[in-house]
Amino acid sequence: METLLAQRQASGWAGSKHPSSEETDVLYQISNFAFDVAKFNPTLTEKNGKRVINLSYGEPTRANGYYVPENITEAVIDVLKAGDKNGYAYHAGPPEARQAIVEKYSKKGYEFEKEDVFFTGGGHGALFTSIHAMCSRGENILIPKPSFPLTDPICQNLGVEIRYYNQFPEKNWEIDLDHMRSLIDAKTKAILVCNPSNPCSVVFSKEHQLEIIKVAQDFKIPLLCDEVYYGLVYPGHTFESFANLTDDVPMVCLNSLSKVYQVPGWRLGWIIVYNRHGHLDIVKDHISKFMRIPFHPCSLIMHALPRILKETPQSYLDDYCKQLATSSEQVYAVVSNQRGLNPIKANAGMYMMVKLNFDEWREGHGITDDKDFVLKFWEAESILLLPSQCFFEKGFVRIVTCISKENADELGIRLARFMSGILKGDK
């Protein structure tokens, strides 16, 4: 021991790197791909003489016509000006803000209380905290495939095994429930469902939700419901939280201001623990203790939340959903026009999955897979998409659809030019 210490002292700073923990050596597929692989630079506006269009991140605020409701900005300004909310907040969040979540989301027959609500740094923090509290090292969690990839670095960090269950793209991305059941064992501690989903951008039918709930009920495994696209469904479709379809299955639901109110940079997310049968007593206790490390979200935003939730008019959400549907239609129109690509219609959210139809591509087109397609398209046409490998699926690309009509049209033009080089019979 002494020799080791002496050696370390003698070697000086040069040549010895501080040994960091392996748990933080994680890989988050989205940012890894955008920044490290595609070398995307957010300040870049032009590349190879073409305007850069970034369709990799789901941020409607970047598109023309999408807007943040004025009342929510005012609510934050008022809290800031009052000057009395600059201190640390109560660890789980201010009681008024927790109560505001109860008033907005607790439904008759499926009630929860303000003590079941915990605020986090966005949906990211909510997902991390929930998985941390629900699963221990060596246990496993079921995750959809394709899925929003955040779970992967979280589970890597926590030593929790991920088991991916399949979904059927041709059936509105419904879950293959037999496959889901086959993955469950004694160490399965949670089933994650994402509805409406990223990257598939669909909302499940109520019937399908009930089938999923039945699996949880049969095996007595709590659901972890990622609902950050809460209510963002296109006209003619309906959304219901999993929490309001059973009063029996315990579950943890997470949500955030990011997508619904178009303020992802405000970093306010929350967890609701539906502690049915007291089955999640320990999970709730652990979340509560974990929250006492004061890394809570910004006090100002939490204190503005009651007004944000109460005063935002329904018309804002209705307009927003219509806008999302229109944008999605525009993207669908240009992509479905394109031979060699099969877009899968979305009915919610802000994305579209597009299958690469290799059968229609000529021999020797030189594109090896979805990742290679995205990289070459980015190189040639300066539009950044995400390959489905970022979502643990192969053979698709994900397009962000909450974009202006101008960008949708431009996408069509550049896709047509790029595809003309690789389609059968075109060259």
Ligand X SMILES: Cc1ncc(COP(=O)(O)O)c(C=O)c1O
Residues that bind ligand X (CB under 6 A): 58, 122-124, 127, 148, 194, 198, 226, 228, 256, 258, 264, 269
* Least distance CB 426 / ligand X (angstroms): 36
* Least distance CB 153 / ligand X (angstroms): 13
How far is C-alpha 225 from the chain's CA centre? 11
First to last CA, the chain: 69
Cβ-based nearer residue to ligand X, 250 or 264? 264
Cβ-based nearer residue to ligand X, 125 or 169? 125
Q: What share of the chain is helix, strand, coil (3-state, %, to 5)?
A: 45, 15, 40
How far is C-alpha 13 from the chain's CA centre? 41
The residues with which 224 forms a beta bridge, in sequence order, are: 192, 252
Cβ-based nearer residue to ligand X, 139 or 226? 226
* Least distance CB 194 / ligand X (angstroms): 5
Cβ-based nearer residue to ligand X, 196 or 340? 196
CB 338 within 8 A of CB 419: yes
* Least distance CB 120 / ligand X (angstroms): 8
DSSP 254: E
Cβ-based nearer residue to ligand X, 147 or 338? 147
CB 373 within 8 A of CB 398: no
* Least distance CB 188 / ligand X (angstroms): 21
Cβ-based nearer residue to ligand X, 338 or 389? 389
Q: Which of 352, 342, 269 is nearest to 305 (CA)?
A: 269
Q: What whole-number distance in Å separates Cα of residue 300 and Cα of residue 78?
A: 9
Cβ-based nearer residue to ligand X, 143 or 283? 143
Q: Report which secondary-structure segment, H or E, holds 421.
A: none
Question: What's the maximum distance between 2 C-alpha atoms anywhere in the chain?
Answer: 73
* Least distance CB 311 / ligand X (angstroms): 21
Q: What whole-number distance in Å separates Cα of residue 239 and Cα of residue 315?
A: 17
* Least distance CB 154 / ligand X (angstroms): 11
* Least distance CB 257 / ligand X (angstroms): 7
Whether cis (ω within 30° of 0) applies to the bond prior to 297 is no
Q: Which of 162, 160, 161, 157 is nearest to 24 (CA)?
A: 157
* Least distance CB 287 / ligand X (angstroms): 17
Cβ-based nearer residue to ligand X, 219 or 290? 290
User: Tokens standing for 378?
Assistant: 């980015």
Q: What whole-number distance in Å separates Cα of residue 55 and Cα of residue 202?
A: 18
Cβ-based nearer residue to ligand X, 60 or 306? 60
CB-based contacts of 359, cutoff 8 Å, min separation 6 = none
Cβ-based nearer residue to ligand X, 146 or 169? 146
Calculate ∠ Cα 330-334-337, nearest 5°.
135
Q: What whole-number distance in Å separates Cα of residue 330 and Cα of residue 321?
A: 14
Rounded-to-10 torsion of CA 212, 271, 198, 400: 160
* Least distance CB 264 / ligand X (angstroms): 5
